[in-house]
Amino acid sequence: MNTKAGFNSNTLKVFAIIAMTIDHLTDILWPGYGHAWWLLLLHLIGRLAAPTMWFFIVEGYHHTRSVKKYATRLFIFAIISHFAYNFCFGIPFIPFKTTVFNQTSVIWSLAFGVVGIHIDEHEKLKRWQKFLLISIICLITFPSDWSCIAVLAIIDINRYRGNLKHQIQEIIIYVFFYAVVWMIFIDPVYGLLQLGVVIVYPFMKRYNGERGNWRGMKWFFYIYYPAHLIILGVLRLILHGNIGVIIGG
């Protein structure tokens, strides 16, 4: 049983799953980055998902029995999710046929985030070696959803683990640069919307450090993420035909 007040990790992950689903469903039902206030509100709710994922990638890194198995599992998950994500939004499976943006799912960056933490904490690597390796990771993850920002945020969330305010500050700093790219290359309103990740703070502030009673949440997310994307992809075909509904498609 939980002994502390607040939200355990299972509860926070459920909030993130709901927010993510709302965000993705909005993209499918009303494609094209509309500026109606209610569309922006639905996408704003979706900003809760990514920083929650980043936060728990760090927690998973510190609680796993094997970092190697943890990273391997995430990379397998990233490959499966690539096809589900691209099918969902009408993005070609082969990257870079349309653009450099949104060529695969955020899971690609989450997996490399684990690698990034391992590099950052490696005592035998020199600073320039760490910088070089993480720079290469940034290039590899740039085309994914949330881009290399996810990797950099994960690394700093890990550096300031235990200091939530500093973690949120780092998230906002990185997302600011992500927002600028959105404003310049995609849509200025949706660029500003990315800064809505700040809504994660009141939720994370209530995190009680406990996992929760249900041990199956990890596997539930591994199944739910590609499954809901495939279902939404079918809905996209029914509603709009075989067209892309977000940047990258």
Beta bridge partners of 207: 7
H or E element, residue 152: helix 149-159
Contact 109, 141 (CB under 8 A): yes
Q: What is the pLDDT of residues 145-161, one digit of tens each?
A: 999 999 999 999 999 99
pLDDT computed for residue 2 by the predictor: 45
pLDDT computed for residue 159 by the predictor: 97
Positions in the chain whose pLDDT score sits under 70: 1-3
Q: What contacts 64, CB < 8 A, 6 or more positions away?
A: 70
Reported pTM: 0.95
Question: How far apart are alpha carbons 168 and 160 in whole angstroms?
Answer: 10
pLDDT computed for residue 4 by the predictor: 76
What share of the chain in percent tops pLDDT 90? 95
pLDDT computed for residue 1 by the predictor: 43
Domain ranges of the chain: 9-240
pLDDT computed for residue 13 by the predictor: 96
The helix/strand/coil state of 107 is helix
